[in-house]
Structure 1
């Protein structure tokens, strides 16, 4: 059985922005502020280091019933028993991930357009990561920003939970949710903050209590 995930405030890790703090330190502070779901994203480390990072976060999150999603790497997600994996448009195809991971695994897919969203839903995605909503320096190779109108347009075409990411912060998060997103995913707004707990708490105040669940 798949876990039920609260997508309202979704943290994506990035050690390059963490002010020298470990993933565990940042995530511990962030969940104290209300983060509901954590994605481990590691672009520049070895497989063994990625595995260590994932195990450390599982040890932190599992007792708190907070799901861990692994970015890109299905092998890491399966090795540590993570709740799910998040796939980009150039990653392992969703159907192959489902075949290997089974029905228990939550699979999120990045959607950069209405066409991406429709295709991902048809193939069995559990949620969509709308990316990017606004211009962001966190990811260099992103598609043109969707904007609020893009979020609304995708909302009108799918019933899947929508998690919006890209340039989202406490100043614009409410507008993103009003446009139809069920949750907001953030990187620098929490990871780079001097006080990740306070930053997460400010973002959590924006989140509706009635987000769609799988």
Structure 2
């Protein structure tokens, strides 16, 4: 499976959150992947490096040939488990250095907040951007105010790489995000806080795909 090529075809994007999860990150990933999720980002802030490596290896095994497996921020963990790549923020390791460490075949996603940052991310070699936050969110305290789904199109039209959207997205507003031009979306609370992650993931995937089929070009 050419995972970089798969980036352009993804719809629902799972980001783990052990602090919010009802059944744990491993259970969330397993259920999401079984529901058809094709990209998983392991985001963990409260565990030791040893624990992260051990858990990341298990998540990698779940994803295997079914989904892209990325690690948030921690390039050391990503390299230790031979992940498919990383997702980094504006204040994390410079993308050029991350590329030197990971090599050309690994995926690097970068969080951006506006068109200027998005254009710069593509110039510096990002494989996709995570546009954030679309709406207000409680899962990331420093995310800032939501930019609204209307701003997605200007970013999407200016880039040749996929645009992933994140921040306060749920099933009530996700259609507006996809109609706005997003390639895929993250909805952390709406999925990992649910009692049935598999069902919730499947419903997001169906909504996203149906909206893509019906949206204006």
Q: Which has the higher contact order (CA 8 A, sep 6+)?
A: 1
In structure 2, the partner of 1:18 is 21
Separation of aligned partners in 2, 1:45 and 1:137: 20
Q: Say whether 1:27 aligns with 2:23.
A: no
Separation of aligned partners in 2, 1:117 and 1:13: 24
CA displacement at 1:206 relative to structure 2: 1.6
**3-state SS, counterpart of residue 207 of structure 2:** coil
CA displacement at 1:144 relative to structure 2: 2.3
Separation of aligned partners in 1, 2:151 and 2:49: 35
In structure 2, the partner of 1:164 is 165
**3-state SS, counterpart of residue 190 of structure 2:** helix
Gaps of 5+ in 1: none
In structure 1, the partner of 2:208 is 207
CA displacement at 1:43 relative to structure 2: 1.1
Q: Is the 8 A contact 1:2 1:104 kept in 2?
A: no
Large movers: runs of 4+ above 4 Å: none
Separation of aligned partners in 1, 2:5 and 2:157: 23
TM-score (norm 1): 0.92
CA RMSD of aligned residues (A): 1.6
Separation of aligned partners in 1, 2:4 and 2:118: 22
Q: Say whether 1:60 aligns with 2:62.
A: yes
| Greater share of helix | 2
Give the 5 Å matches for 1:166-185. 166-185=167-186
Give the 5 Å matches for 1:1-214. 3-5=4-6, 6-19=9-22, 21-62=23-64, 64-208=65-209
Separation of aligned partners in 2, 1:66 and 1:166: 22
Q: Is the 8 A contact 1:112 1:130 kept in 2?
A: yes
Give deviations 1:126-175, integer Å, cap 9, x for gaps: 00001111101000001321211221221122121000011111111111
Separation of aligned partners in 2, 1:18 and 1:148: 26
TM-score (norm 2): 0.91
Q: Which moved more, 1:1-10 or 1:38-47?
A: 1-10
CA displacement at 1:33 relative to structure 2: 2.1
CA displacement at 1:122 relative to structure 2: 0.6
CA displacement at 1:2 relative to structure 2: 5.8
Separation of aligned partners in 1, 2:3 and 2:178: 25
Gaps of 5+ in 2: none
Separation of aligned partners in 2, 1:90 and 1:161: 21
